Amino acid sequence: MKVAIVTGASSGIGFGCATTLAGQGMAVLGTGRDPDRLAALERNCDRIATLAVDLTDDDAPAAITAAALDRFGRIDYLINNAGVGSPKPLHETDDASLDHFLGLMLRAPFRLAREVIGHLQPGSAIVNVTSTFAVVGGLRGGAYSAAKGGLTALTTHIACQYGPQGIRCNAVAPGVTLTPMVAGRLEDERFRKINTEMTPHQRLGRVEDVAATVAFLCSEGGSFINGQTIVVDGGWSSTKYLSDYALNSTWVAR
């Protein structure tokens, strides 16, 4: 049985990834900071184990790796998903916020990948969940964009360095996805318009869209994909689309 580690698995995209991979027959170690939410994840499937841990702790990578090996005896896939939202633009970002974003979304996955890489065998893979803000410029991206952009660069390095050993690494870059973290932001009319009226699809992204893409990259079908970023955003980042509503609205001079 193949074994996957999924970080940030207590809710949202991480929860979806963990349950999707388990549903495809994998054993999964899901990590997060909320023991109650992790307990709910574990109840979904007997192939899922969980570990409550702060990824930014110095001993977190060793603890996560040991937990996976102790429980399942091997590691085949690492899904670096844990993240945080609601960033501020560069001029509003203080050092504490900068350190928090970089620590959780760049330093932590770097250190966990470094710990896990020695246990991966040919055919294994790492998937880093980045963002459309690592693909195009994003308003208010700030430290979030910097962290996700760094994770994209780490992805291509791992793909190049460890590809000859049969270890692949790719990134999945979701656009706005309907998760608890995003729900509050969609109440902001400006944020909602930027995403709904500029997406050439009939809906916003769902957790299942991202989880299915991650699962594909961990499948035989994705076994020759390496060093790539797959954007899951309904065309938001790759088109100049505007909805009929946006095109027929009254424009305000800049």
What does the DSSP assignment read for 123-149? T-EEEEE--GGGTS--TT-HHHHHHHH
DSSP 190: H
The single residue of 144, 162, 241, 245 carrying the catalytic annotation is 144
Catalytic site includes residue 245? no
Cα-Cα-Cα-Cα dihedral sign, residues 188, 105, 231, 123: negative
Of 190, 192, 193, residue with least CA distance to 245: 193
Q: Is the CB of residue 195 less than 8 Å from the CB of residue 176?
A: yes
Task: Walk across the sheet containing 3-6 and list its strands.
Answer: 48-52, 27-32, 3-6, 77-80, 125-129, 168-174, 229-232
Q: Which amino acid is at 145?
A: S
Q: Give me the active site residues, please.
A: 144
